[in-house]
């Protein structure tokens, strides 16, 4: 109950107004409406779980963005690991964007037990993705460090990840990715762009553009007329979870700042590819506690990750789709 004393006319008459405000739930409801509309949530370690509102936002928009999901200490640890040029970076190759720029990528099939492997298998990452995908068992399909360096980083044309993975013998679009910035991602340094709700268009035909597969430009143009185009600006520590049919793109990085991100892809056990290809068949994945990342000291070996070499990355080889 709130009591206000109101003075009218400057002095004489005073009114006592009693306002019974038993119910502040409108505030919570407004917050929920904002979160659902924008697919944007704030991480709270003490209470975190995938709520029906998050699942609904994921199902209707094709993604959710969770702010502050990694702590500063965790981001620093990940940064140190990828900045080591004898580590993951040493396995990188570059991809032509069809417009004379290149992005560097390091890609590996099994998570391993180093910092990046623990990051992928953490409850916060793998557990959240699994819940958003419906709760069935998921496995690690691959991870990559996508490096767009200042002034040189290449673009990614509009595509759906399932536009690639369909060709790998995955029958269902029961797959998804987790986008984890190592650096802040802004419009200037080529943050991810998505078409909200485009996963509901189903799989679109893809064809070759440079060394990439791009979604049929006619479809993309029509989709852009009816769906909202979002620039997903993120701080290092924020995490984006997105469906494999969500149309996404990113520009060349012409800025002074590099833009490096991890992308972890998951597949459902029930969607085991019907043929062998350059990413793994179902392989059980052990999730680790959220504390596992900070327990790494950086000396963990990179063994068992099955890094992909340029010649093995059939997604950039000439082929008919
Ligand atoms: O790094 C990016 O901006 C996008 C990468 C991407 O879309 C992909 O690898 O499928």
Reported confidence tier of residue 315, pLDDT bands at 50, 70, 90: low
pLDDT given at position 242: 98
Burial 310-320 (b: 16+ CB within 10 A, else e): eeeeebbeeee
- What SS3 state is found at 263? strand
217 sits in which H/E element: helix 217-226
Residues 6+ apart with CB under 8 A from 310: 93, 316
Cα 15 to averaged position of ligand 1 atoms, centre (Å): 63
Pocket test for ligand 1, best of 146, 166, 244 (most atoms within 8 A of CB): 146
Number of C-beta neighbours around residue 179 at 10 A:
23
In this predicted model, what pLDDT tens digit does every residue of 220-261 receive, in sequence order?
A: 999 999 999 999 999 999 999 999 999 999 999 999 999 999
Share of the chain above pLDDT 90, in %: 71
Position in ligand 1 atom list of the atom nearest CA 190: 3
Position in ligand 1 atom list of the atom nearest CA 192: 3
Position in ligand 1 atom list of the atom nearest CA 191: 3
In this predicted model, what pLDDT tens digit does every residue of 154-210 receive, in sequence order?
A: 899 999 999 999 999 999 999 999 999 999 999 999 999 999 999 999 999 999 987
Residue 242 sits at φ, ψ, to 5 deg, of -140, 150
Q: Is 248 in the pocket of ligand 1 (CB under 6 A)?
A: yes
Query: In 122-276, at which residue ranges do the beta strands (DSSP E only) sit?
Result: 138-148, 156-159, 175-181, 192-195, 206-209, 212-215, 229-232, 239-243, 248-250, 259-268
Reported confidence tier of residue 22, pLDDT bands at 50, 70, 90: low
Reported confidence tier of residue 21, pLDDT bands at 50, 70, 90: low
pLDDT given at position 321: 22
Reported confidence tier of residue 314, pLDDT bands at 50, 70, 90: low
In this predicted model, what pLDDT tens digit does every residue of 132-165 receive, in sequence order?
A: 999 999 999 999 999 999 998 889 999 999 999 9
Share of the chain above pLDDT 70, in %: 89
Reported confidence tier of residue 302, pLDDT bands at 50, 70, 90: confident
Q: Is 142 in the pocket of ligand 1 (CB under 6 A)?
A: no
Report whether 291 contacts 321 (CB < 8 A). Answer: no
Cα 18 to averaged position of ligand 1 atoms, centre (Å): 57
72 against 36, higher pLDDT: 72
Cα 261 to averaged position of ligand 1 atoms, centre (Å): 9
- Spacing of C-alpha 58 from chain mean position: 12
Q: Write the class of the CATH domain 40-316.
A: mainly beta
**Nearest to 192, CA basis, from 203, 210, 205, 180:** 180
Cα 298 to averaged position of ligand 1 atoms, centre (Å): 26
67 sits in which H/E element: strand 63-67
Number of C-beta neighbours around residue 36 at 10 A:
18
Position in ligand 1 atom list of the atom nearest CA 148: 1
Q: Is 95 in the pocket of ligand 1 (CB under 6 A)?
A: no
Q: Is 145 in the pocket of ligand 1 (CB under 6 A)?
A: no
120 has a pLDDT exceeding 50 = yes
Reported confidence tier of residue 12, pLDDT bands at 50, 70, 90: very low
Position in ligand 1 atom list of the atom nearest CA 261: 1
Determine the Cα–Cα distance for residues 126 and 177; give it in Å rounded to an integer.
Answer: 10
């Amino acid at each position: 109950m709130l009591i206000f004393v109101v003075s009218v006319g400057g002095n004489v008459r005073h009114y006592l107004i009693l306002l019974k405000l038993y119910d502040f739930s409108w505030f919570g409801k407004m917050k929920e409406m904002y979160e659902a509309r924008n697919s944007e949530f704030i991480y709270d370690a003490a209470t975190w779980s995938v709520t029906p509102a998050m699942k609904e936002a994921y199902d209707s928009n094709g993604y959710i963005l969770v702010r502050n999901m990694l702590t500063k200490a965790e981001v620093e640890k990940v940064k140190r690991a990828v900045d080591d040029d004898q580590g993951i970076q040493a396995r990188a190759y570059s991809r032509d964007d069809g417009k004379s720029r290149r992005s560097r990528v390091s890609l590996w099939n099994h998570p391993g037990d180093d910092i990046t492997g623990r990051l992928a298998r953490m409850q916060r990452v793998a557990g959240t993705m699994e819940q958003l995908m419906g709760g069935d068992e998921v496995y690690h399909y691959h991870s990559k460090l996508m490096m767009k360096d200042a002034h040189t980083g290449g673009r990614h044309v509009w595509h759906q990840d399932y536009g690639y993975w369909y060709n790998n013998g995955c029958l269902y679009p029961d797959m998804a990715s987790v986008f984890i910035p190592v650096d802040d991602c802004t419009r200037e340094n080529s943050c991810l762009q998505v078409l909200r709700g485009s996963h509901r268009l189903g799989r679109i035909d893809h064809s070759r553009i440079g060394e990439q597969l791009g979604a049929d430009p006619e479809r993309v143009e029509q989709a852009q007329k009816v769906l909202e185009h979002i620039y997903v600006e993120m701080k290092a520590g924020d995490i984006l979870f997105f469906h494999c049919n969500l149309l996404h793109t990113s520009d060349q990085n012409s800025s002074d700042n590099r833009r490096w991100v991890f992308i972890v892809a998951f597949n459902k056990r029930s969607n085991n590819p019907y043929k062998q290809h350059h990413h793994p068949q179902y392989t059980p994945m052990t999730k680790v506690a959220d504390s596992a990342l900070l327990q790494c000291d950086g000396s963990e070996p990179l063994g068992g990750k099955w890094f992909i070499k340029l010649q093995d990355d059939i997604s950039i080889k000439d082929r008919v789709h």
